[in-house]
Structure 1
Amino acid sequence: MKFCFRWLIAVTTLLFAANVALGSGFEGADSTKKKERKNLPLEPGRMLEMSTSEGSWMSLDVSPDGQTIVFDLLGDLYTLPIAGGEATRLTQGMGFDAQPRYSPDGKQVVFTSDSSGGDNVWIINIEDKEQTQLTKGNDNGYFSPEWTPDGKYIVVSKSSGTFGTAKLTLIHVDGGAGVEMVKEPRTLKMLGAAFGKDARYIWFASRTGDWQYNAIFPQYQLGRYDRQTGKSTTMTSRYGSAIRPAVSPDGKWLVYGTRYDHQTGFRIRDLASGDERWLAYPVQRDDQEARSTLDVLPGYSFTPDGSAIVTTYGGKIWRVPVDGSAATEIPFTANISLELGPEVRFDYEVETSERFTVRQIRNPKPSPDGNKLVFTAIDRIWVMDLPGGEPKRLTKLEVGEYFPTWSPDGKWIAFSTWTDQNGGHMYKTRADGRGNPVKLTTTPALFVENVWSPKYDRIVAQHVPARELQEATGTFFGSPTARFVYIPANGGDPVDIAPAAGRSMPHFTENPDRIYAYSSSDGLFSMRWDGTDEKAHVKVTGSTPPGGRTPQRAGLVMMAPSGDQALAQVGNHLYTVTVPWVGGDTPTVNVGNPDNAAFPAKKLTDIGGEFPAWSADAQKIHWAIGNAFVTWDIVAAKAYDDSVKAAAKAKADSAKAAESDTTQAAQSDTTAAASSDSTKAKSDKKDDKEEKAGYKPQEIRVIVTARRDVPNGVAVLRGARVITMKGHEIIDNADLVIENNRIKAVGTRGSVDVPENAHVIDVRGKTIIPGFVDTHYHAQWLVPDVHNGQVWQYLTNLAYGVTTTRDPQTGTTDILSYSDRVEAGGMVGPRIYSTGPGVFSGEQIKDLDHARSVLKRYSEYYDTKTFKMYMSGNRQQRQWLIMAARELKLMPTTEGGLDFKLNLTHAIDGYSGLEHSLPITPVYKDIEQLFVKTGITYSPTLLVSYGGPFGENYFYTTERVYEDEKLRTFMPYKEIASRALRRGNNPGPGGWFHKDEYVFPKHAAFVKRLIEAGGRAGVGSHGQLQGLGYHWELWAIQSGGLNEHDVLRIATIYGAEGIGFGNDLGSIEPGKLADILVLDADPLENIRNSNSIRYVVKNGRLYQGDSLDEVWPRQQKLPAPYWRDSAPSTAAGIK
């Protein structure tokens, strides 16, 4: 089904970018002396200047002479006398330098850095600070480099791409490609190489796979690799795992980390006897439940005499004697001077005009003669004249209308309808709008991807029983019972063609006897009307993301009406490909580089596009993006290309002739020559720019407007205590005046003017706060393409007081239409904001111009005001994106990705938001001040805590979710039952955890520290449990000890400011929009009173909190939800 296919385009792009295959060949060595770091394009705009005597996750090493320590702190390297004192900066700059290790002679330090634009291995000379880049390429990960005892090689853990399991790799210090020491199994992850006295053996920690959510122990064990035999031996079997080995220089002792209960400690083993004991406990909590991109524990070191280890925990540096005696602190002070990217933060206005322009058109189809366009907008079908006509409704039906298709003569338009209660039908109506629509079907069903046969009076579609969508209260991206059918154009029952079987997008060529469709596994194929004689025609693939093993498959391929070309969508982009007649195996055309494709191919988009379609004469290709309708004229594009080639040839011929003339002429006038060269350079630059511009398709903005839903009237909420969130202001016995959808006044009763016609609502004894803002919300998931009339997820959240949601990664663009429907009053729900689909590494950003093109989707077409930088590539690529965002006035947020190092570079580069918790805990002054200085809004989403069990499991264990009557009012039974009756192991293997195992209180303690230091945070429920889950997240944040008022500030004004709407939302002040909660109990006394909701006011409309019946200004009940189930009640059964 198309809604299955379209979602798969987005989500398989996400998964393909994230879950790349595990390994590619080493890219070679650079060995170029690093004079400056010029590959990070972002110019610093701020500085973090501070002095600190504590640091987070500091890796260190002790020099061979035992006199000096080298350690990392916030992406720079420092040296420190072994006795302590003031640290000396060894490296500086925006590049993130980490994990230093001394060479055996003590003259050099190896470390990892992304200063080349991506992670690589570097060496710095201690004496002259000269730096050398050992590895090459910017798309790999490098972790925990270590010298071989002879100082000739580096052993480092290397992974390919953003994700992937790191393998021990041996690199010579003078260059060369290096070699992966252990290749199989591919899923084996190896970290923390360590040598002892014998260079034959390498100790390491290993696990299967990169990480697990909700992990069950053990996760890692120690192994020892024999460089003579090439074999590895497992050396531990601890329940709490075994990580980060270190061997004493004399080969006597092995130290490693392990978990005991919920804390981490060091064990020490006598390698001669095998006896073990605890050396230090507890120490720094390990990172074995996340991606460990700075290893599973910070690097530490034995002293040269083997009498102690020097390590970091509690934010300090410690000397820990191996004899078990007391540890000694090695005090330090580091003066941090850290370059930061410019601030990328904007204040946006919540649009409140009487009418608004709909942001998206869907499934646009030009008429066969190209003179008209039919499309869906705000879930209704519209028709307009091309190129600049005014869109008009095609029907007066008050149902959802989808998938319009033209009759071959252009006189009729067929389309599907849908209502949640009654299902859908197939209709047709005259294209000129005259007459009434004709219902073609009698039995309700779901019809999608409609297409009218070019010859036979039939309409082909995918058919699903209506019940399946009506009962699909969660994820619904297709049905195993979906079938290709046709409906007679004069009406009748659907006639079966073939099972859809995950295939999509039926269409036709000039041959009316074959139906074409697309399969992601088998490619473009065709069949007869009875479903027989299937023939495969072509497969299309795209580029292979860094670290990937296979190229990305196309999400859609459609044959041209002429039958000799196809239109392919790969990721967000559209291509044309030539379809060869081969015979035998289905040919594959890779469009990763269209110029090098096996058959002629061309990329059509630089910004992206959706809903592609061929013109009837195969001379044009159409698509949409936002509310833009785009046309690619194949003939015009070819003529442009031909002219460019001709100009290039003429230029080359002219240059050749000029060169010949120059050879014969005396070059006496050097000034003239220089001037000529300058003019020529400018001309060449201009020509290059013109050539780069290329053919541009025609774009038409389709302007459909709708009346914004705004109430009319004045109401006064009288007698409550108002916690305004304007600083720490609290007003007792207040009058809060609402006029239409804005706050007119607020103050102590009698102190503000109250209009005579105001409707007074008695709220004595209640507490009023601003509506909640969910900065990280997912609907999990919205039905794509065919949209529900009412969305239970949004109703549930509004009933629980969430008046504004921001979804930071939507998978599809359907949310734009859902948001428009709420704005128009066609659907009850909170304010819906989103980033739209994320920007993933599959985009493979090439330069700043490319980043600008990609982000124009969001600034010029989706109008999201933001985007999600979802681990979009290496550091260089991420900096191009933040630079483009600042230019385009987009306020981006980021994916945390269980990657502590990545999180820190997000903040350093100036990204406005960080989604998900830091995976490690605790963190100290360095991280606290970095977040405060950059102003990043931290949404920790503790219900899906990183670095430990998900917080939601704690609440399912301690709360009576199944018996919650309010939740059952709004949430479908199976959604509650599947979560609250039995807890499964999705995601990850664990479902139940002892209370001490949960990490969210530790993450919450950092939120407390951050807020009290002047930083910013947001409450993000992640959509784990709609509505009530927001309160769980709120309570989880408070578990770290933050006072109730500050917790409420995070939930309201900080959240609103964090998504750019603090001028209109987040506090109760005159002139702001009326998003307000009336609570039965005071949350300042107990934060759990946040859930005592009496009324919800959203945009000036007042609703009962337990029913969402509107109380003012209208008095109307919420229609009974179609999904509401009652307990079975039958005459038959055991009595």
Structure 2
Amino acid sequence: MQCALLTRACEPCSSQLPRQALGRRSSILSLSRQGSWNTGRPTSVAHRQSAWRPLPAGGWFMRNRFACLLVLMLPALAVVHAGEKPGTSSVVLRNVTLIDMTDERPKPNMTVVITGNRIAAIGTDSAIPPHAQDIDGSGKFLIPGLWDMHVHPLASSRWEWASRVQVANGITGNRVPGTGRPLEDIVRLRKDVEEGRVLAPRFIANGPIIDGPPANRKDRSFAGTPDEMRKEVGRLHAAGMDFIKVYTNVPRDAFFAAIEEAKRLGIPLDGHVPLTVTAAEASDAGMRSIEHAYRHRMSCATAEAEILALLIEQKKAQAAENYRQSWEREDQAFRLGLESYSSGKCVELGRRFARNGTWFVPTLVEMQTRFRSEYPEDEAFKDLFKDERLRYLPAATVLQWRDEMAWNMGFLVGRELQSGRNEEAVFREREQEIANRLKMVFDLHRGGANLLAGTDADATFHFVFFGSSLHEELALFVKAGLTPMEALRTATVNPARFLGAEDSLGTIEQGKLADLVLLDANPLDDISNTTRIRAVVVNGRYVDRAALDALLKEAEKAANP
């Protein structure tokens, strides 16, 4: 990347969508004493956990002369004090109410001192360093920076705008479970973020997803046998991947081979539960995290075995290009899942997840978009495309969303009418599915399962947005039955625990990384208050509201150059 993220912030940006749219190795990341993330993949699980401990300091994000010129020209947008050496400047937030996530009690009238990339002091009378940037936080609320634990921003076609939008929405960390971007590019980009040359969420990534045959996507790798799987897991581990992600079509024996090889090599295995494996079996085997609430909800159904058999038939029919049989089997499995959902079975699955240390990333917001029931000619459908967030997407993407949603609705209604059910029945089933997925999350939570907030944003799922949709995910957790504090944990404390980084992330405590979000209202009163962002601290850099707005303008311009 030639420029830091703010280098074009002064350029004029249209507020309207274009008319036509309407080292060669990745690694587990180590955190420097100043908050930079240094690479260096440990060789064992114990080393992998200790890799988050402080190491020597990293560099500065403003290596580019244009970025420096911008800071000199626009002091209001400066996130590092001009003339001060990076890593030594201080920011002080005074009179702020702290929601530090160590307990449920907000702490009023606190002072937080940030030096370099770390929280240097917290208290009611903390000394203010000379020449510090002094911020009055009266009436404001400070929370840890938010993590999107399932998001896909790394594609070269979307990074420039997706990273900006995320920072502007208080997202300071990403887990990226799948990207086709070349490994060398990922390593370079990650280093730029680690060393502060790019203002963006810190991230971990796994490289390509491993799926089973057929090998029909260039951005994935494929393994159809245990030997092929062991070889592929070993290849990705040797390349320095942070974790392994498997997908839906992996054969049963290859899946268990992946688990065994990942354990042997000391690298976590996450992903989709293959169709030939139950979620309980995957958890017992040692799968670290299970992604999404679709199809995995069959594990909360009393008819789980029958549903699995139908979905396997559906895949075979699809491979044979028998599309009518394919959608009939999928529809049968869908309705059987609705009819046989069991809260008791789901709570027990949550207990199993808790015992085994299996995490669950439901991506509820992405699920909601799959079950929209608006007709293209309805006002509700048209109103969707008045969403202000569409300006931060490429115009071609917005047009594609509109066309796909219209086609999908027509196809859905047409095929369901052929099955003898009327439209109202179909839409009622879709509403029930949304309700069941919320119920599933709460039942797993009641059983003790650990939850992570993720969106699956990748610009292909309709109305799932980078940045802002994470706030929608938190709201859906609350709608499912979690408290606002419990929902916040899924994007703060829980990611730190998941990553083995509790000494540096997740809470606001002295010595931890300064990734913070300053809010105008208390999110414990109303979880939607996480959207009322006054400022974001990214790796120690204070980005005020004016600078965040400039980032959004940058995103708009980057999405539609």
Paired position in structure 2 for 1:822? 193
User: In the alignment, residue 283 of structure 2 is paired with which amino acid?
Assistant: A
Does structure 1 retain, via aligned residues, the 8 Å contact 2:478–2:484? yes
User: In the alignment, residue 180 of structure 2 is paired with which amino acid?
Assistant: G
User: In the alignment, residue 832 of structure 1 is paired with which amino acid?
Assistant: F
Q: How many residues in Structure 1 have an aligned counterpart in Structure 2?
A: 419
* Residue 436 of structure 2 corresponds to residue 997 of structure 1: no
Instruction: Check 1:759–1:812 CA distance in 2 against 1; reply closer, same or farther (3 A cut).
Output: closer
* SS of alignment partner, residue 1051 of structure 1: coil
* Residue 227 of structure 2 corresponds to residue 859 of structure 1: no
* SS of alignment partner, residue 536 of structure 2: strand
| Aligned with 2:292 (options 916, 935, 941) | 916
| Aligned with 1:942 (options 359, 364, 367) | 364
| Matches of 2:440 and 2:168, distance apart in 1 | 30
Does structure 2 retain, via aligned residues, the 8 Å contact 1:1017–1:1050? yes
The 5-angstrom pairing of residues 426-575 of structure 1 reads none
- 1:1057 deviates by 2.1
The 5-angstrom pairing of residues 260-339 of structure 1 reads none
Paired position in structure 1 for 2:160? 791
Paired position in structure 2 for 1:804? 173
* Residue 283 of structure 2 corresponds to residue 907 of structure 1: yes
* Residue 143 of structure 2 corresponds to residue 769 of structure 1: yes
| Matches of 2:65 and 2:137, distance apart in 1 | 42
Paired position in structure 1 for 2:269? 892
| Matches of 1:1058 and 1:1076, distance apart in 2 | 19
| Matches of 1:348 and 1:1010, distance apart in 2 | 31
The percent of aligned pairs where both chains have the same amino acid is 26
| Aligned with 2:120 (options 744, 754, 761) | 744
User: In the alignment, residue 870 of structure 1 is paired with which amino acid?
Assistant: Y
Higher relative contact order (CA 8 A, sep 6+): 2
Instruction: Check 1:1106–1:962 CA distance in 2 against 1; reply closer, same or farther (3 A cut).
Output: farther
Q: Could you report, residue by residue, the CA deviation over 1:23-48 in whole angstroms, capped at 9, with x for unpaired residues?
A: xxxxxxxxxxxxxxxxxxxxxxxxxx
Aligned-CA RMSD value: 4.0
| Matches of 1:1055 and 1:988, distance apart in 2 | 40
- 1:1118 deviates by 7.9
Paired position in structure 2 for 1:1040? 480
| Matches of 2:276 and 2:410, distance apart in 1 | 20
| Matches of 1:350 and 1:343, distance apart in 2 | 12
| Matches of 1:853 and 1:928, distance apart in 2 | 32
Q: Could you report, residue by residue, the CA deviation over 1:460-505 in whole angstroms, capped at 9, with x for unpaired residues?
A: xxxxxxxxxxxxxxxxxxxxxxxxxxxxxxxxxxxxxxxxxxxxxx
Instruction: Check 1:727–1:910 CA distance in 2 against 1; reply closer, same or farther (3 A cut).
Output: farther
User: In the alignment, residue 362 of structure 2 is paired with which amino acid?
Assistant: P
Instruction: Check 1:905–1:1123 CA distance in 2 against 1; reply closer, same or farther (3 A cut).
Output: same
- 1:953 deviates by 7.3
Paired position in structure 1 for 2:224? 844
Does structure 1 retain, via aligned residues, the 8 Å contact 2:91–2:113? yes
Instruction: Check 1:827–1:873 CA distance in 2 against 1; reply closer, same or farther (3 A cut).
Output: same
Instruction: Check 1:974–1:1090 CA distance in 2 against 1; reply closer, same or farther (3 A cut).
Output: farther
| Matches of 2:107 and 2:382, distance apart in 1 | 33
* Residue 504 of structure 2 corresponds to residue 1064 of structure 1: yes
* SS of alignment partner, residue 187 of structure 2: helix
- 1:347 deviates by 6.0
Paired position in structure 2 for 1:1108? 548
| Matches of 2:234 and 2:277, distance apart in 1 | 28
Instruction: Check 1:961–1:761 CA distance in 2 against 1; reply closer, same or farther (3 A cut).
Output: farther
What TM-score do you get using the length of structure 1 for normalisation? 0.34
| Aligned with 2:153 (options 767, 779, 791) | 779
- 1:1120 deviates by 7.8
The 5-angstrom pairing of residues 952-1101 of structure 1 reads 962-963=385-386, 965=388, 967=389, 970-976=392-398, 979=401, 983-985=405-407, 989-990=411-412, 993=427, 997=431, 999-1023=433-457, 1024-1101=464-541
| Matches of 1:1019 and 1:808, distance apart in 2 | 13
Instruction: Check 1:1047–1:1020 CA distance in 2 against 1; reply closer, same or farther (3 A cut).
Output: same
Paired position in structure 2 for 1:928? 350
| Matches of 1:886 and 1:347, distance apart in 2 | 17
| Matches of 2:246 and 2:555, distance apart in 1 | 39
| Matches of 2:250 and 2:47, distance apart in 1 | 20
User: In the alignment, residue 1002 of structure 1 is paired with which amino acid?
Assistant: N
Specify every segment of 5 or more residues in structure 2 that has no aligned partner in the other structure, as ranges: 1-44, 67-84, 213-221, 299-340, 414-425, 458-463
* SS of alignment partner, residue 267 of structure 2: coil
Specify every segment of 5 or more residues in structure 1 that has no aligned partner in the other structure, as ranges: 1-341, 357-395, 399-708, 1111-1115, 1127-1135
Does structure 2 retain, via aligned residues, the 8 Å contact 1:961–1:976? no
- Larger proportion of strand: 1
Instruction: Check 1:874–1:1102 CA distance in 2 against 1; reply closer, same or farther (3 A cut).
Output: same
User: In the alignment, residue 1050 of structure 1 is paired with which amino acid?
Assistant: T
| Matches of 1:988 and 1:836, distance apart in 2 | 36
Paired position in structure 1 for 2:88? 712
Paired position in structure 2 for 1:868? 245
Does structure 2 retain, via aligned residues, the 8 Å contact 1:773–1:1056? no
* SS of alignment partner, residue 209 of structure 2: coil
- 1:805 deviates by 0.8
| Matches of 2:279 and 2:409, distance apart in 1 | 22
* Residue 102 of structure 2 corresponds to residue 722 of structure 1: no
User: In the alignment, residue 820 of structure 1 is paired with which amino acid?
Assistant: K
| Matches of 2:148 and 2:381, distance apart in 1 | 23
Instruction: Check 1:758–1:1107 CA distance in 2 against 1; reply closer, same or farther (3 A cut).
Output: closer
- 1:1017 deviates by 0.7
Does structure 2 retain, via aligned residues, the 8 Å contact 1:932–1:1010? no
What TM-score do you get using the length of structure 2 for normalisation? 0.65
Instruction: Check 1:895–1:725 CA distance in 2 against 1; reply closer, same or farther (3 A cut).
Output: same
- 1:893 deviates by 0.7
Paired position in structure 2 for 1:349? 52
Q: Could you report, residue by residue, the CA deviation over 1:581-610 in whole angstroms, capped at 9, with x for unpaired residues?
A: xxxxxxxxxxxxxxxxxxxxxxxxxxxxxx
| Matches of 2:207 and 2:518, distance apart in 1 | 32
* SS of alignment partner, residue 1022 of structure 1: coil
- 1:761 deviates by 0.6
| Matches of 1:744 and 1:959, distance apart in 2 | 50
- 1:834 deviates by 1.2
- 1:765 deviates by 0.9
| Matches of 2:380 and 2:166, distance apart in 1 | 22
The 5-angstrom pairing of residues 624-639 of structure 1 reads none
- Structure with max Cα Rg: 1
| Matches of 1:773 and 1:988, distance apart in 2 | 36
Instruction: Check 1:964–1:1019 CA distance in 2 against 1; reply closer, same or farther (3 A cut).
Output: same
- 1:1089 deviates by 1.3
